[in-house]
Amino acid sequence: MKRLFCLFSLLLLPATRLAADDLFDIKPVADGVYAAIAKPAYKVNCNAAIILFDDAVLVVDTHSKPSAARALIEQIKKLTDKPVRYVVNTHFHWDHYQGNQAYPSSWPAGVEIISSEATRANIEQRGIPRVKHEIVTMPQEIEKLKSDLDKASDVRQKEQLRANLLQAEAYLAELKSMQVTLPSVTFDHSLILNRPSKTVEILWLGNAHTNGDVFVYLPREKVLVTGDALHGWTPYMGDSYPFDWIQTLDAAEKLDFDQVIGGHGDVMRGKERFELWKHYFGDLMDEAAQAYARGASLEDAEKGVGKTLIAKYADRFDPGFPKSVIGNIAKAYQVIAFMP
């Protein structure tokens, strides 16, 4: 898939290369529940949730590469000596599952990787070809970074480009050796782990960011983990089902929770973000439908709808919204134009 949010990450990336042990901020959310908030990186990592049971640990999502997962594993070991026994992939996008192999290799006694049936199929049918495609295309990206570095004159810009180049080269090397590790346990609608200290409900509530998104819900702690079905940045819609997504967010919002760990951005409180995304999707689809009905070309729709949405939503999303919204308009226009 497109490397979502790379531009946003570039805007925030520190001038020096991120150390392997400095990829995540670990934040306590509830008793035995932590959010691992991914720090900005050239090849973005997703957040993770760390859930401590009496005798084991559950981790939600595994980032863009095994080295990032191993970095988080080291941080988990500082929290507890309990082994990770469960890993959940919320969906099939590269930055949420490509670190899977780090967990069985770190705990050979057994780690179950859990996902919806659709997500496992998506990794096999779409994720693996995308990895192979990236191995072929990454050298071009690296050459572009080298060219930009040679042309740069500003000292800070050169430092940032040099750091990005190092990360890109390391990422390509890791992709070439990465073993795609598929989920070992799948379900269609729900899977519930009932342990003495915690109940964890893993729920498929409908199509959203992909057709396999799952929510991880802790009813006692009132914590909801949403993957990329809801997060702190602008939604990426390339593999999405926009109309279904609104209904799925409605279903998730009915759960009783106080805190939300999204796939990107900081921990969220309450349900305000759900309302924001639902209104945004509704306006996006309405505006795209009106543009299509008027006979507007995609290019004209991107300009006109983009102007309307930027005026209404730019200050409510991340700084990359004015550019990210263009891709969302293209997706909305495509859905309207080819809707069965």
Exposed/middle/buried for residue 26 (C-beta within 10 Å: 0-12, 13-18, 19+): middle
- What distance in Å separates the CA atoms of residue 78 and residue 88, rounded to the nearest whole number? 21
By three-state DSSP, how is residue 185 classified?
strand
- What distance in Å separates the CA atoms of residue 316 and residue 334, rounded to the nearest whole number? 25
Exposed/middle/buried for residue 299 (C-beta within 10 Å: 0-12, 13-18, 19+): exposed
Going by C-alpha positions, the residue among 262, 251, 218, 259 that lies closest to residue 91 is 262
pLDDT band at residue 339, thresholds of 50, 70 and 90? confident
Q: What is the pLDDT of residue 236?
A: 97
pTM here is 0.91
Kindly tell me if the per-residue pLDDT of 9 is higher than 60: no
Of how many residues is the chain composed?
Answer: 340
Rounded mean pLDDT of 251-279?
98
Rounded mean pLDDT of 271-283?
98
pLDDT band at residue 4, thresholds of 50, 70 and 90? very low
Specify whether the CB–CB gap between 226 and 190 falls below 8 A. no
Rounded mean pLDDT of 75-80?
96
Classify domain 6-121+181-268 at the CATH class level: alpha beta
Residue reference for tokens 């709808």: 305
pLDDT band at residue 307, thresholds of 50, 70 and 90? very high
Arithmetic mean of pLDDT over the chain: 93
Beta-carbon contacts of 58 under 8 Å, excluding residues fewer than 6 positions away, are 50, 51, 84, 85, 86, 87, 88, 193, 200
Kindly tell me if the per-residue pLDDT of 127 is higher than 70: yes
- The per-residue pLDDT for range 18-74, each reduced to its tens digit, is 444 579 999 999 999 999 999 998 899 999 999 999 999 999 999 999 999 999 999
Rounded mean pLDDT of 150-169?
92
Higher pLDDT, 52 or 108: 52
By three-state DSSP, how is residue 4 classified?
coil
Kindly tell me if the per-residue pLDDT of 110 is higher than 50: yes
End-to-end CA distance of the chain: 24
pLDDT band at residue 340, thresholds of 50, 70 and 90? low
Residue 90 in tokens: 């919320």
| Annotated domain spans of the chain | 6-121+181-268, 275-338
Q: What is the pLDDT of residue 93?
A: 98
Q: What is the pLDDT of residue 13?
A: 37
Kindly tell me if the per-residue pLDDT of 227 is higher than 90: yes
242-253 and 321-338 helices, crossing angle to 10°: 110
- What distance in Å separates the CA atoms of residue 253 and residue 245, rounded to the nearest whole number? 12
Work out the number of other CB atoms within 10 angstroms of the CB of residue 182.
17
